Chain A
Amino acid sequence: MCRIGAIKSLAPLPPSRALQLMLPQQEGHDNSGFAMVMQDLEGIFAHCKDKPLLSLACTPKGEQLVNAWMEEHGFVQVAQWAPDVNKRSGLNIELMPRYVFRNYDYPEIYRYRTEKEREELLLDTRLALRDLLSGKDGGHDEGYVYSFWPDVLTLKEIGDPADIAVYFRLWEDTGRLLARNIVIQCRQNTNYAIVRYAAHPFFLQGYTLCANGENTFFSRNREFQKALHRGYTGFESDSQCLLYTLHYVLRELGWPLQYYKHVITPLPVPRMGQRPDRDALVSVRESLAHLEISGPNAIIALLPDGRLLACSDAGKLRPLVVGRGQDMLAVTSEVCGLNAVFPDRDFETDIYPGGRDLVVIDNGLEVHQWRQ
């Protein structure tokens, strides 16, 4: 079990608001880790929003390897932020020696390349750095590269989320770290090995996703996805499959958003009934049968354009609720999280998505709801 949350705001927010969202949900997780993706950044990253931002935790040797590789491949560093950490003793946190958040300029030869080509470059670079730090066979342990994308910052660490927040001074609203979208989760994967890459949220080419769940079709999904895209890799967590399917349906296939839900939790064929898109739905189910998920899952995802998405498994076996505060909206596992950040909201407007629902929140904070 874990607890997930996301907060979306018209005005940039500090991470403390997301921490506040998660604080009352502590009994729902095991305090084993912390992970956060921030998108649409302000504060110290405000002036280089179009420059890809590398989020990295590594050893000194790992940093040297990355520096050399980036230089060799023509990336030019334009800004760097090293968090001013609180080295108080007694914190329960498994630190990496270095935390690097760095904006780069694209290599010169990419100056006139298309957006799409640049996005492929960023993915290839992240995968290359990952191999560089972990070794092709995962034999090295020189560091972890979580994301490399403009306007996206990822922070993940093993330990007590409250202590991790203290260490990185996330409770102190210094104005340096601000974003309009924050996706957060307070647990390491404790089913299997503790691996930093196994902590939600996961990130791929602008798509961020975290899930409270157990995908019992993991092996089916994984074996199918391996052949679909070079970026579908790692598979340290069964929930990565949910991100890869989102990426595949929206970016690779270019389908309307609600088909993500149709792919992961397809309707039984007899229930597709008389819908006008019945034939398409049947075909989609047939062709992407191996992307269907099973088991309990609540899913929150952030799209490259900033829209926030929430849904769950068809049996609605995990909690999920959407609530609105002043100029902001949050999606999270339990309503007590909403009560903490938006204590005075009209809770009658809260949305509890059912097993067949898909909720999307656009950048104007308007909520769109589809039923399968």
Chain B
Amino acid sequence: MAAVMVQDLHCCDLPWQVDWQQDKCVLCGACAAACTVDAIHFVASSRGVRGAALRQRAELARACTGCGMCSRVCPQNAIRPLRNPDHRFPLLARANGPLKRGGRSNLHAQRTLDKLTVGRISQMTDPALDSERHVFDLRAPLGRVLPVRDLPLRVEGEALSLAAPTPPVRWIYPLMFSDMSIGALSTRAWEAIALACAYLNEQCHLPVRMCSGEGGMPGRLLESEHLQYMVLQIASGHFGWNRILRALPRMKTDPAGVLIKMGQGAKPGDGGLLPAAKVAAHIQAIRGVPRTTLHSPANHQGLYSIEEAVQKMHLSCNAAFGFRVPVAIKCAASVTSVAVYNNLLRDPYNICGGFFLDGIQGGTGAANEISLEHTGHPLASKLRHCYLAAQAQGRQGQIPLWVGGGVGQTGQAAADAFKLICLGANGVLVGKLLIQLLGCVGNEQGRCNACNTGRCPAGICTQDMRLVRRLDIDRGAQAIVDYMLAFDAELRKLLAPVGNTSLPVGRADVLVATDRAVAQALGLDYAC
């Protein structure tokens, strides 16, 4: 028997240890069949069940991710992954270069929003409303809103009319499906989200919009009426845009908007990467590229100053759709966000239709862990500061603020959305929440987060049809629809007690903070 050396890798070095109870096991093999990372295998053992035992592999490349598909599939409840607090994974796994993974920041899972409560309740001074029977007006603008003095209004008799066109503004639901690209997501996952979006619009009268992500658009969708629900994203790689442009003459309708992605909250300053192995045939077709590793650089080549970023990029995207479609920009929240927002607000050509701010708790399909954990800026204070900067100039509301990054992280998306709206957001974005509704089991405690490996056990972040077939589009879409309907009811349940029938954008006076530091940073009352 070979000696065991202390430097040999052992399962106790890995973040998850598989707990197998041989007395319950019936050797059906389902756990090993279901495991996408091949973390477990059977061996002959005189002490096992009928001569067999299950073993976890002590290999970095096959380290258990804790996804728990084994316990899900086990008819005997005989197996489960256990979190190993003493693991050495971050040390050992860097043997092959920087550590990569998907998911969200695990270090910065702080929940500022949970330290806020809706503390200003309408009672005697004014009546609370009833969330069921009162009429609520839950829509938010996307597009450049002009200062009232700049509106080309003409008084004609007793009516006002517009004497010239104004920048396009869409009035949409204050929650947008965030940008997750075709490529990052499987075809079924992306389609399920798009399908849910269409369903919400056409069957539930919720005008929810979905951002395409940076991986282009399916040609069939570009040429369908459902395009009106889509916000088309352009990022540094410009993937799929040649095909979007070629489809222009055949489009039946305008898209809801265009979103220029400058940065991503989960990995600001770190570009995207789609390894050649994931560039399946359909991705080649949609993005218009050969099979190769695809880089989205961290910066847009050709934009070297904010003036260029605003002018060149916005102008081109506005021009592409005849100035009929609002064009917005998404940046990772940063110390510099207020400066960026000021520049946008002061842009004399009124071509920026929205400032999307992505906080550090945003998710990603693949990032260097160093970026995921150690770069980025929490959302709440930066949103508040942007709103207050606009307010100080009398420009609040002129460029709608849409924010994302951790919205719905605890499942309470309506509460998160409402609080962010009170802090100044016009609307919020959810991404991770959607894939969690589809079946993603990843979390901020290091579970799964294998989005970068192509081995997503839920068939969401993979292009391998063996896994993609695990995902039921209809059930997934239905789960999103059900959640959104509950979200809508819950949002009204928060509007009603503060006595508002429309969104209280910037109305921070309804919030109190139960943490002094948070209260001070956001300019709220401290309550205890």
Using a CB–CB distance below 8 Å, which chain A residues touch chain B?
Answer: 191, 213-214, 216-220, 223-224, 226-228, 253-259, 268-270, 276-277, 279-284, 286-290, 292, 294-296, 314-315, 317
Output the nearest chain A residue to B137 by Cβ-Cβ distance: A268
* Chain A residues within an 8 Å CB radius of B151: 283-284, 287
Q: A-B pairs with the 6 shortest C-beta distances?
A: A227-B394, A214-B126, A280-B160, A287-B148, A269-B171, A268-B137
Q: A223-B396, A228-B394, A296-B127 are in contact. Are A254 and B155 (CB under 8 A)?
A: yes
Instruction: Choose one: A284, A292, A294, A314; the contact of B160 (CB below 8 Å).
Output: A284
Cα separation A48 to B102 with both chains bound (whole Å): 79
CB-defined contacts of B500 to chain A, threshold 8 Å? 216-217, 294-295
Residues of B within 8 A of A289 (CB): 141, 145, 397, 505
Find out whether the CB atom of B169 lies under 8 angstroms from the CB atom of A286: yes
For window 131-147 of chain B, which residues contact chain A by CB distance below 8 Å? 134-135, 137, 139, 141, 143, 145-147
Given that A287-B147, A294-B500 are known contacts, is A214 also in contact with B159, CB under 8 Å in the complex? no
Residues in A with CB closer than 8 Å to B171 are: 269-270, 282
Minimum distance in angstroms from B107 CB to a CB of chain A: 35
Bound CA span A1–B158, Å:
34
Among the listed stretches B245-253, B282-290, B294-302, B506-514, which one makes contact with chain A, having 4 or more residues with CB under 8 Å of it? B506-514
Q: Does B162 contact A (CB under 8 A)?
A: yes
Q: Name the A residues within 8 Å of B135 (CB-CB).
A: 268, 314-315
B74 at interface, CB cutoff 8 A? no
| Contact A280:B161 (CB < 8 A) given known A216-B126, A217-B500, A227-B394 | yes
Chain B 144-184 interface mask (CB, 8 Å, partner A; 1/0): 01111101010101111110001001010000000000000
Q: How far apart are the CA atoms of A268 and B416 in the complex, in Å?
A: 24
Q: Looking at chain B's contact residues, is the secondary structure mostly helix, strand, loop, or mixed? A: loop
State in angstroms the CA–CA spacing of A256 and B153 once bound together.
Answer: 12
Q: Chain B: which residue is nearest A223 at the CB level?
A: B391
CA distance A317 to B129 in the complex (A): 10
A224: chain B residues at CB < 8 Å are 391, 394, 396
Query: In B350-403, which residues have CB < 8 Å from any A CB?
Result: 391, 393-394, 396-398
Chain A residues near B127 (CB, 8 Å)?
Answer: 296, 317
B501 at the interface (CB under 8 A from A): yes
For residue B149, which residues in chain A have a CB less than 8 angstroms away from its CB?
A: 253
Q: Which residues of B contact A288 (CB under 8 A)?
A: 148
Interface residues of B (CB under 8 A from A): 122, 125-127, 129, 134-135, 137, 139, 141, 143, 145-149, 151, 153, 155, 157-162, 166, 169, 171, 391, 393-394, 396-398, 498-502, 504-509
Give the contacting residue for B502; candidates A287, A294, A317; CB below 8 A: A294
Q: Please measure, in the bound complex, the distance between the C-alpha atom of A289 and the C-alpha atom of B400, giving whole angstroms.
A: 11
Which residues from chain A contact B153 at a C-beta distance below 8 Å? 255, 280, 283-284
A276 — which chain B residues lie within 8 A by C-beta? 159, 161
Minimal Cβ-Cβ distance residue in B for A222: B509
List, in ascending order, chain B residues with CB within 8 A of A268's CB.
Answer: 135, 137, 139
| 10 further interface pairs, Cβ-Cβ under 8 Å (given A254-B155, A276-B159, A284-B153) | A191-B125, A214-B122, A224-B391, A255-B155, A257-B158, A276-B161, A289-B141, A290-B396, A295-B122, A296-B499
CA of A229 to CA of B483, assembled, Å:
45
Of listed B135, B148, B398, B502, residue having the most chain A CB within 10 A: B148
Cα A315 to Cα B499 in complex, Å, equals 11
| Contact status A220-B504, CB under 8 Å | yes
Q: Is A292 in contact with B155, judged by CB distance below 8 angstroms?
A: no
Chain B residues closer than 8 Å to A277, beta-carbon distance: 159-161
In the bound complex, CA of A224 to CA of B393 (Å) = 9
Q: List 26 A-B contacts (CB under 8 A).
A: A218-B509, A219-B507, A220-B507, A224-B394, A227-B391, A228-B394, A256-B157, A268-B137, A268-B139, A269-B139, A276-B161, A277-B160, A283-B153, A284-B153, A286-B145, A286-B397, A287-B146, A287-B148, A289-B145, A290-B396, A290-B397, A292-B502, A294-B502, A294-B504, A296-B499, A315-B501
Task: Name A259's closest neighbour in chain B (CB-CB).
Answer: B160
Q: With A214-B125, A214-B499 in contact, is A255–B160 under 8 Å at CB?
A: yes
Question: Which chain A residues lie closer than 8 Å to B393 at the CB level?
Answer: 227
Q: Which residues of B contact A259 (CB under 8 A)?
A: 160
Residue of A nearest to B398 (CB): A287
Nearest chain-A residue to B498 (Cβ)?
Answer: A216
B239 to chain A, nearest CB (A): 33
Which residue from chain A places its CB closest to the CB of B136 in the assembled complex?
A268
A291 (CB) vs chain B CBs: closest residue: B148
Contact between B502 and A286, CB atoms less than 8 A apart = no
Q: Is A283's CB under 8 angstroms from B162's CB?
A: yes
By a CB distance below 8 angstroms, the chain A residues around B148 are 253, 284, 287-288
Q: How far is the CB of A168 from chain B (nearest CB, A)?
A: 30
Chain A residue numbers with a CB within 8 Å of B391 are: 223-224, 227
Q: Which residues of B contact A279 (CB under 8 A)?
A: 161-162, 166
B502 proximity list for chain A (CB < 8 A): 292, 294
Q: Which residues of A contact B143 (CB under 8 A)?
A: 286
CA distance A256 to B154 in the complex (A): 11
Nearest chain B CB to A346's CB is how many angstroms away?
29
A118 to chain B, nearest CB (A): 24
Q: How far is the CA of A314 from the CA of B499 in the complex (A)?
A: 12
CB distance from A105 to the nearest CB of B (A): 35
With A219-B508, A219-B509, A314-B501 as contacts: A283 and B146 at CB distance below 8 Å: yes
Distance between A175 CB and nearest chain B CB, rounded to angstroms: 40
Residues from chain A with a CB closer than 8 A to the CB of B147 are 287
Set of chain A residues within 8 Å of B169, measured between Cβ atoms: 282, 286
A257 to B171: give the CA distance in the assembly, Å. 26
A296 to B127, CA, bound (A): 7
Q: B160 to chain A: which residues have CB within 8 Å?
A: 255-256, 259, 277, 280-281, 284
Scoring A216, A270, A276, A290 by chain B CB atoms within 10 A of each residue's CB, the highest score goes to A216
List, in ascending order, chain A residues with CB within 8 A of B162's CB: 279-280, 283
Residues of A within 8 A of B146 (CB): 283, 286-287
- What's the least CB distance linking A57 to chain B, in Å? 27
Q: Which residue of B lies closest to A256 (CB)?
A: B158
- Residues on B with C-beta less than 8 A from A269 are 137, 139, 171
Q: Determine the chain B residues whose CB is within 8 A of the CB of A220 once the complex forms.
A: 504-507
What chain A residues lie within 8 Å of B134 (beta carbons)? 315
CB distance from A75 to the nearest CB of B (A): 32
Interchain CA distance A23-B145 in the complex, whole Å: 47
Determine the residue in chain A with the shortest Cβ distance to B426. Answer: A289
Question: Which one of B159, B504, B508 lies within 8 Å of A280 (CB-CB)?
Answer: B159
What residue of chain A has the Cβ atom nearest to residue B157's Cβ?
Answer: A256
Contact between chains at A296 and B126 (CB < 8 Å): yes
Distance from A319 Cβ to chain B, minimum over Cβ atoms (Å)? 13
* C-alpha gap A213/B122 in the complex (Å): 12
Q: A224-B396, A268-B139, A282-B169 are in contact. Are A294 and B499 (CB under 8 A)?
A: yes
Given contacts A286-B145, A287-B147, whether A295 and B394 have CB atoms under 8 Å apart is no
Q: Which residues of A contact B501 (CB under 8 A)?
A: 294, 314-315
A315 to B134, CA, bound (A): 8
B158 proximity list for chain A (CB < 8 A) = 256-258
Q: Which residue of A lies closest to B144 (CB)?
A: A286
By the criterion CB–CB under 8 Å, are B159 and A216 in contact? no
Of all chain B residues, the one with the shortest Cβ separation from A289 is B397
Q: A277–B155 Cα gap in the complex (Å)? A: 11
CB distance from A187 to the nearest CB of B (A): 13
Please give, as numbers and ranges, the residues of chain B lying within 8 Å of A254 by CB-CB distance: 155
Smallest CB separation, B82 vs chain A (Å): 50
Given A282-B169, A287-B145, A294-B499, also A216-B137 (CB < 8 A): no
Contacts of A314 in B (CB 8 A): 135, 501
Bound CA span A226–B498, Å: 23
Across the interface, which residues of A come within 8 angstroms of B129, CB to CB? 315
**Given the complex, which residues of A lie within 8 Å of B145, measured CB to CB?**
286-287, 289
Task: Kindly state the separation between the CA atoms of A269 and B170 in the bound complex, as whole angstroms.
Answer: 10
Q: With the chains together, A282 CA to B165 CA distance in Å? A: 12
